[in-house]
């Protein structure tokens, strides 16, 4: 059965869910959770994605993100690859950790943004025995749950790098509504009363999360995209997420650019090759900027960030370099 097309457009806001393959846990300890948040911040910055919410559970993750560049699949592929590669290496395992296809529903950026934020942030108290505890204990647990953006919204913890709370808080009426205490009150009121409409939209097979007018627009956008592709399939994210070995990336760059592998990181010989290697390692090998720097013999991760940004700009104007990038990605099996 063909997969339903993922609706993609500039400025789209998505409720994203990532689940463990076969419902397995994707976090074994706080070290794993911390690494995921580091990767989330880094990949959001790298892809120009605005991060509004997150909530990490044992076997799944909720995110709320906006994609000004209409690049939700590339962003998620990079994030999932990076985390899977880390997890497998740390825990000495092989194979798929995450489901190959993430969930991603467009969200209307008004009251539904606010309602969805409450749904996401209340996830930790709606599982297991926590849900059966007295209301005061649920509130205490929610405020102390470190692995969601709620403590930052509630003014009880520092926000992780890249978290943008303004768009959600702006949905609360008036200047006082933007205070942490107002948002805290709004979310915690949800412990006593369930928003059945949002739950139905989140869990149902709908085209998005919003009012009927928004849903109709999403159906129209989806139908238009299906017409262009002539098949209802997500062509940007059909494959399982598998990291490409760094040595294979460097060998491919060497062949494409005509530079020996050992000289790719050299300023004098491998300037173009170095930038191309940095871009490919960041996109497809699941490495952090610091790890890419080590592969290329660079001193700082910030140098990798500069190389990636520079090369990304160049491929948009330099047809020769763009062809080499496409040639390399075809050789690596990440571009059809």
Would you say residue 122 has pLDDT above 80? Answer: yes
**Residue range 100-127: mean pLDDT, rounded:** 90
pLDDT recorded at residue 335: 59
* pLDDT number for residue 233: 40
CA 211 to chain centre: 25
- Regarding predicted confidence, which is higher, 17 or 283? 17
Beta strand segments in the chain, E: 12-19, 50-56, 60-67, 103-106
Name which residue leads in pLDDT, 175 or 262. Answer: 262
Pure H helices in 106-245: 111-121, 135-144, 150-153, 166-169, 180-189, 196-203, 212-229
26 pLDDT above the threshold of 70: yes
**Mean pLDDT within 95-117:** 88
Percent over 70 (pLDDT), the chain: 89
72 vs 175 pLDDT, higher one: 72
pLDDT in tens, 62-78: 999 999 988 999 999 99
- Model pLDDT, residue 324: 92
Confidence of residue 4 (pLDDT cuts 50, 70, 90): low
Assigned token pair, 80: 């999932």
Region 127-135: what's the mean pLDDT? 87
Stretch 290-297: mean pLDDT:
86
Mean pLDDT of 33-61: 94
Residue 310: per-residue pLDDT: 86
Taken in order of first residue, the domains within the chain and their CATH numbers are 12-229 (3.30.70.1290), 246-332 (1.10.1750.10)
Strands 12-19 and 50-56 come out as: unpaired
Report the C-alpha gap between 217 and 241 in whole angstroms: 30
To the nearest whole number, what is the mean pLDDT of the chain? 85
Q: What is the pTM of this model?
A: 0.71
52 vs 217, residue with greater confidence: 52
Confidence of residue 240 (pLDDT cuts 50, 70, 90): very low
271-284 and 72-90 helices cross at what angle (nearest 10)?
Answer: 80
Which of 24-33, 159-168, 242-251, 261-270 has the least mean pLDDT?
A: 261-270
What residue has token string 């763009």? Answer: 322
């Amino acid at each position: 059965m063909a997969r339903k097309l993922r609706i993609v457009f500039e400025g789209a806001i998505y409720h994203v869910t990532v689940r463990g393959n076969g419902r397995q846990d994707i976090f074994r300890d706080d070290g794993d959770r911390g690494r995921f948040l580091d990767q989330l911040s880094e990949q959001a910055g790298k892809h120009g994605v605005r991060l509004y919410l997150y909530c990490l559970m044992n076997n799944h993750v909720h995110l709320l993100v906006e994609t000004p560049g209409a690049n939700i699949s590339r962003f998620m592929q990079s994030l999932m690859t990076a985390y899977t590669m880390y997890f497998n290496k740390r825990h000495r395992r092989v194979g798929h950790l995450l489901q190959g296809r993430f969930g991603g529903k467009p969200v209307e950026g008004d009251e539904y943004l606010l309602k969805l934020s409450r749904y996401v942030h209340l996830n930790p108290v709606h599982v297991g025995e926590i849900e059966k505890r007295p209301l005061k204990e649920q509130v205490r647990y929610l405020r102390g749950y470190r692995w969601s953006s709620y403590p930052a919204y509630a003014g009880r913890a520092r926000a992780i790098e890249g978290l943008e709370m303004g768009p959600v808080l702006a949905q609360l009426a008036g200047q006082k509504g933007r205070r942490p205490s107002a948002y805290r009150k709004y979310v915690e009121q949800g412990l006593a009363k369930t928003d059945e409409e949002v739950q139905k939209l989140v869990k149902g097979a709908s085209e998005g999360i919003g009012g009927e007018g928004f849903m109709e627009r999403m159906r129209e956008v989806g139908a238009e995209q299906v017409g262009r592709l002539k098949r209802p399939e997500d062509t940007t994210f059909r494959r399982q997420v598998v990291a490409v070995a760094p040595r294979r990336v460097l060998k491919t760059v060497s062949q494409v650019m005509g530079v020996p592998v050992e000289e790719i990181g050299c300023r004098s010989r491998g300037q173009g090759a170095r930038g191309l290697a940095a871009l490919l390692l960041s996109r497809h090998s699941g490495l952090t900027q610091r790890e890419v720097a080590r592969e290329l013999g660079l001193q700082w991760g910030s140098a990798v960030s500069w190389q990636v940004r520079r090369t990304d700009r160049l491929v948009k104007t330099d047809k020769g370099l763009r062809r080499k990038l496409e040639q390399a990605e075809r050789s690596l099996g990440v571009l059809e």
